[in-house]
Structure 1
Amino acid sequence: MHNKNRIAVSNTVTLTPISINDREKLFSLMTRIYLPEYSHLWFDAGNWYMNKIYSSVNLERDLATPNSSYYFVDYQSETIGILKLVENVPLVGFKDQKSAKLDRIYLDPTFHSKGIGKTLIHWTENRVASSGYTILWLEAIDTQEKALAFYEKMDYKICGTFKLEYELIHPTLRGMSRMYKTI
């Protein structure tokens, strides 16, 4: 099926908008991508989080969020991740600047080190800059050293920290870093 709403990010990377009818595909994909990388954070291996974040109710809310874009990431026509961008979200400490939040970006670990993440970050930065935003920001788990190193390599700087309040996350693994880049 050819999706005319598909966005070509590069010769090999495309984005396909997620719809409410994609919930099962999204849940299956994130089970394959999220759990191997993040199950160690959770007392229940991430089951509660998966059922909460990728439920029909939450997907409806995500899709109804104003200024939000939610995509499947395809690499050479294989779905390998997700990207969610929310525009017009102020960053704490930068309230006078027009900001957008990279709310979710997850890629299948078997596709890491192929430049896909870098390509997606550049596309996102260009998209929000062309809409007049001056800050792109995100949040990352502070124990995910590879993710933090990747964002730092992409010139993102830590501007704050906080703890996740989810009871099912191991208390020592709740730390989050808020990172931003002026674009």
Structure 2
Amino acid sequence: MDRAVKEKAIMQIISLRRVQPSDVEQLQAISRITFADTFAGANTEADMKKHLASAYAKEQLLAEIETPASYFYFGMIDNQCAGYLKLNVDQAQSEDRGATTLEVERIYILPAFKRQGLGRTFLQAAERLAQDLGKERIWLGVWEENTAALAFYIKMGFEQVGQHVFVLGNDRQTDLIMEKRLATAE
């Protein structure tokens, strides 16, 4: 890595901002761009269109933002929105994993901002919130064919503990359930 690239990486400021209902259009655009960027090449156009239209409809996203046990944060790199994080606890979790867990439902990073530390920042934020809420573990589902994400989560201390079905359009796919036990303060 040359010196200019290193200096740019050092000088970047990553911050998080809570998503508000008034941000729904920006959230929708990021959702559709990032999901398509990651999964369009491995799925049919029909399945992608169906998923993008339903999962990221404004009404659906607004309902999710307004769910009390869900937390959305925009990730900002040098004051530019680079992606978002969605966390769920209690009844908002997409699957019942118990009262001592926090779900990382989405880590969506725009293509231009990948590999700049935002994913790590998002997971650190998830861990802090989980600890603040008295949770013992964080978990997530990741498509079994998303090898880059799987490698990242393993590197971050997650282990596979199960699997579930994720329906994309009309295609039933397997997501691996990954979990990380949080350090306890002694």
Q: TM-score range by the shorter chain?
A: 0.7 to 0.9
Q: Distance in 1 between matches of 2:94 and 2:158?
A: 14
Question: Displacement of 1:79 after TM fit?
Answer: 0.7
Is 1:176 aligned to 2:175, yes or no? yes
Residue deviations 1:86-119, cap 9 Å, x none? Answer: 1235797964x61111111111233222222112
Task: Measure the CA separation in 2 of the matches of 1:92 and 1:106.
Answer: 20
In the TM superposition, residue 124 of structure 1 has moved relative to its aligned partner by 1.4
State the superposition RMSD in angstroms.
Answer: 2.3
Counterpart of 1:130 (choices 123, 129, 132) is 132
Looking at structure 1, the residues matched to 27 and 96 of structure 2 have their Cα atoms a distance apart, in angstroms, of: 34
Inter-partner Cα distance in structure 2 for 1:143 and 1:59: 26
**Cα distance change of structure 1 residues 54 and 122 upon mapping to structure 2, 3 Å threshold:** same
The Cα shift of 1:138 comes to: 0.7
Distance 2:24 2:96 in 1: 35
Determine the structure 2 residue equivalent to 1:39: 40
Query: What TM-score do the two structures reach when normalised by structure 1?
Result: 0.81
Report runs of 4+ in structure 1 exceeding 4 Å deviation. Answer: 89-94
Q: Unpaired segments of 5 or more residues in structure 1? A: 1-10
- Whole-angstrom distance in 2 between the partners of 1:80 and 1:179: 24
For structure 2, the 5+ residue unaligned runs are 1-11
Aligned ranges for residues 33-112 of structure 1 at < 5 Å?
33-44=34-45, 46-88=48-90, 95=98, 98-112=100-114
SS at match of 2:45: coil
Deviations 1:43-91 (A, max 9, x none): 2262221221221221122023232111221111111111011123579
Native 8 Å contact 1:23 1:55 kept in 2: no
How many Å separate the matches in 2 of 1:33 and 1:113?
14
8 A Cα contact 1:98 1:135, kept in partner: yes
Once the 2 structures are TM-superposed, how far is the Cα of residue 41 of structure 1 from its aligned partner? Answer: 3.9
Aligned length: 169
Provide closer, same or farther for how the CA distance between residues 67 and 80 of structure 1 changes in structure 2, counting only shifts above 3 A.
Answer: same
Paired residues of 2:28 and 2:61 also in contact (CA < 8 A): no
Higher helix share: 2
Percent identity between the aligned chains?
Answer: 22
Distance 1:32 1:93, change over 3 A: closer
SS of the residue aligned with 1:175?
Answer: strand
Output the CA distance in 2 between the equivalents of 1:112 and 1:54: 21
Q: Deviations over 1:1-33 (max 9, x none)?
A: xxxxxxxxxx71222222332222222223332
